[in-house]
Amino acid sequence: MKRNCKECNTKFNVPKDQRNKIFCGFICSKKHVDRIASKKAKIKRELKELEYNKNPKLCKHCLKKLSFYDAKSKKFCNRSCSASYNNKRMSKETRQKQVKSLKETNSKKVAQIKIRWIRVCAVCGIITIHRQKAKKIQSCGDPECYSKLMSSLMRGRTGGSTKQFITYTNNNLTCSLDSSWELLMAQDLDKHNILWSRPSSFLLSNKRRYTPDFYLPDYDVYLDPKAYRRGYLKQIEKIKLFEKEYSTRCFVISDKNNLTWSYIKTILLN
């Protein structure tokens, strides 16, 4: 036996032991029950509103009718009515006390604003005056000083490599390398007498900074040994943006076996 569902009007097979079944499933039956319950609640609300409109609650000051939803919790239609109503019934002594307390609080706020805190920049040493006391970081507000200070504070906390901040010296310079991969790269470049340097950071159009690991001035090429870890793809996007904006080349080496000058030479030839 087939029958149309009372809710969705789709045909369904009625079992023999459930001939009084009206709905095709539990979802349709629940929808039907919920709709009837919402209708009943709406009717009850409308009846209550009608009863309330016969004898509505009025604002104590302007005697305007309060809405059905505000009548339970409110006595006034707005703040101005409540203030004017309460001020009329307030004695002079209580009003004077309120004025005194307000003046005292305002004077305390003004005194707090007048206090100045001196900060000495940890990078350039410039003295600046601020309204709030510095908690941890002390900088003059210059973005370059702030970035240098943040890089020094975050050293060793990012977990980017196995050997962090190795001091390396060769004939030309002494510098700190950030990982064991960079150490292998520097040693191989020095072995083949390739001139290299540690470049400074570059500001990109998305207001982020990018710092390559190596710069080869004879070939005008940047190198970045980078293991495939979390956030690798975002770093690649940043490098592509750097190449586009500064019209240069930056080679990413993501394999430990390719940290050699012979591999870099093959890339340069291609």
- Burial of 224 by CB count in 10 Å (0-12 exposed, 13-18 middle, 19+ buried)? buried
Min mean pLDDT across 62-66, 128-132, 156-160, 235-239 is at: 156-160
Q: Residue 231 corresponds to which tokens in the numbers above? A: 């956030």
d(C-alpha 242, C-alpha 202), whole Å:
8
Span 255-264, average pLDDT:
88
Q: Place 222 in a pLDDT band, splitting at 50, 70 and 90.
A: very high
Domains in the chain, start-ordered, CATH in brackets?
2-82 (no CATH), 166-269 (3.40.960)
pLDDT in tens, 142-169: 878 877 777 776 655 544 444 456 778 8
Min mean pLDDT across 54-63, 99-108, 256-265 is at: 99-108
d(C-alpha 55, C-alpha 47), whole Å:
13
d(C-alpha 143, C-alpha 129), whole Å:
17
- Predicted TM-score (pTM) of this structure: 0.42
